[in-house]
Homo-oligomer: A and B are copies of this chain.
Amino acid sequence: MNSPANITDPLVLFMPSGKRGRFPIGTPVIDAARQLGVYVESVCGGRATCGRCQIEVQEGNFAKHKIISSNDHISPKGPKEERYERVRGLAEGRRLSCSATIQGDLVVDIPQDTVINAQVVRKAATDRVIERNPAVQLCFVEVDQPDMHKPLGDLDRLKLMLERDWGWEDLLVSQHIIPQVQQILRKGEWGVTAAIHRDLETSRPTMIGLWPGLKNEAYGIACDIGSTTIAMHLVSLLSGRIVASSGTSNPQIRFGEDLMSRVSYVMMNPDGREAMTKAVREAVNTLIGKVCEEGGVDRHDILDAVFVANPIMHHLFLGIDPTELGQAPFALAVSGAVHTWASEIDLDVNEGARIYLLPCIAGHVGADAAAATLSEGPYRQDKMMLLVDVGTNAEIILGNGARVVAASSPTGPAFEGAEISSGQRAAPGAIERVRIDPETLEPKYHVIGVEKWSDEEGFEEAAKATGVTGICGSAIIEVVAEMYLAGIISEDGVIDGALAARSPRIFQNGRTFSYLLRDGEPRITVTQNDIRAIQLAKAALYAGIKLLMEKQGVETVDMIRFAGAFGTFIDPKYAMVLGLIPDCDLSEVKAVGNAAGTGALMALLNRDHRREIEQEVSRIEKIETALEPHFQQLFIDAMAMPNKVDPFPKLSEQVKLPPRKVLAEDGAGGDGAPRRRSREERAARRRG
């Protein structure tokens, strides 16, 4: 090792981590990085053959850091590095940190995209740079040949080298490797690459793979198993690069559309659990094939996999009967993180590949919610963050560094377009945006696959290709919100029948009124029942959120994050107008896409994130909404738009909310006088 650093030694700053330290002249850059805890990949162990340890010197005067960094402050390329450059190629400015030594002050950039195999280059599916510390590491060693005087077995000599060169003590060896050891050693002419898995510090490291010669690539998958969709990233464990991302529908749909119908299927059919486990594992295997084909990767090079899922998908994937999750007390078979082997759950990847499932938070708040929490990290900051993932069930996480609470709320399928008379899934022909003129009550809308708005010239012509077939989830939020803003529906969600006199768009439909969004084939209307369905869904969500806000003792939240597909397409403003979410500065409301998938990716690329979320989940307080006596009142209050009792001052600054009018279910009467209860009144009600 190097001698201890001296105050006169060169100062080296590593980016992007910002870690810095002084090192004696002649220290290999990789050693300096590691002493500072900066993760630099290396497979060959300093032989300048794998090219994984590339760095770039940032030249210039970094006054803030008092560093003048220059390529003159790093050793020139030696023969080994030159050979690598000649044989494998080295991009302009790139150096191998195992060979380059420190000769003066340096600012060193660790590129996060070290390209080894050209064919895997692809745009990253997530922009986030995840600091890497994967659970699997590739380690090249040169093993002594057998010696009759020291009759240690071939495997035992290999283990000695892995201890000497890489520090792996007390190594376990995956059983499937043992019969192959001798052949691999001889094929590699005593040079082999071992894949070592170490996740928990308290577990012994395990050799899970072995290849002759230098094996310079290993992959992992991060997978989110949803009730409807399975999404997967294929990632290089050595560079962190996302090689391919893809999705497929969950074939369990044929056993039941929603989660509870799948649990029922298991309860009613003796082989139901087995059939559904088989179906989801097969789908995952097929999807692995798809991402591997897309990325030009051999599936047997996949050595690690992280899965997240809601509790029922999690249990079925692991082969666990989910019946207990279908009834109180909603007991999970296992809530903690699960570590297992790919072969134990029939995944067709490398024989020694490992599997990690994030912990579940509660019987209704699964590993997917845990992964979204890891991704968005409410606990990593001081602001009060609300994280919601809306599906048939909404998972709600609320908290900050001090405390995090979680719940789920049964929103039902209305937000997904089910139970809505003209509802449909997002597809060409579906209305996705709606505006209603408050004066004329005339709508205009935007259709998926058609560039023009419906009031623009040539729209009908353009829409001929797709037709206008229904309303998708995001537009349902918008049309109801716009109807409310235009005064067509009251605070309580009743369509104002009196307006039928002003516009033919409002028309009687049995005992209630409807709104005609588009005349034609098909006729697209919003019925009183549609509005009731949306109200029930949004009230369930909001009541759950309010419950958590009360637990936290806060009247407002600082930021809102929408996870999942639903959040990506809705306009936060309309969500707030309808009162899905509490009042908040609109600029602090963001959709974060598949946060569960991103969390899975983080856990794949850095095992510290596994410990982080395991610890966090054990700290999260779970609220069971069904057991809270107050939930019912919150739910009733949340039926109103935006809410019966809660003011939305920040929203009001940006959106003109209509005056309050109260109508009977048949759309008659109402005084039209807006009324806001005082803070005191509200507090008094809540105490009651």
What residues of chain A have their CB less than 8 Å away from a CB belonging to chain B?
A: 145-156, 159, 170, 172-173, 175-176, 178-179, 181-183, 200, 202-204, 318-321, 324, 328-336, 338-341, 344-345, 360-363, 622, 624, 626-627
Contact = CB atoms under 8 A, between A and B. Distances in A.
A330 B333 CA distance: 50
B333 A179 contact: yes
A395 to B, nearest CB: 13
B335 A152 contact: yes
Contacts of A146: 324, 329-331
Nearest to A169: B202
30 contacts: A146-B330, A146-B331, A148-B330, A148-B626, A149-B622, A149-B627, A150-B622, A151-B332, A152-B332, A153-B332, A153-B334, A153-B360, A154-B324, A154-B331, A155-B334, A155-B335, A156-B334, A156-B335, A159-B336, A172-B339, A175-B344, A178-B333, A179-B321, A179-B333, A181-B333, A181-B334, A182-B321, A202-B204, A203-B204, A204-B204
A202 B341 contact: no
- Of A146, A148, A340, which is in contact with the most chain B CB atoms at under 10 Å from its CB? A148
* Copies of this protein, total: 2
Given A175-B344, A179-B320, A335 B153 contact: yes
Contact of A151 (B153, B204, B622): B622
A322 to B, nearest CB: 10
B178 A320 contact: yes
A324 B361 CA distance: 52
Nearest to A158: B334
A362 B183 CA distance: 19
A396 to B, nearest CB: 15
A175 B340 contact: yes
Contacts of A151: 330, 332, 335, 361-363, 622, 624
Nearest to A181: B333
Given A175-B345, A182-B321, 18 more contacts: A146-B324, A146-B329, A146-B330, A148-B329, A148-B624, A148-B627, A151-B362, A151-B363, A152-B335, A153-B333, A153-B335, A153-B336, A154-B334, A170-B200, A173-B334, A175-B340, A178-B320, A181-B320
B335 A178 contact: no
A329 B186 CA distance: 13
Q: Report the 7 A-B pairs with minimum CB-CB distance, sorted nearest first.
A: A153-B335, A146-B331, A151-B362, A153-B332, A155-B334, A175-B344, A153-B334
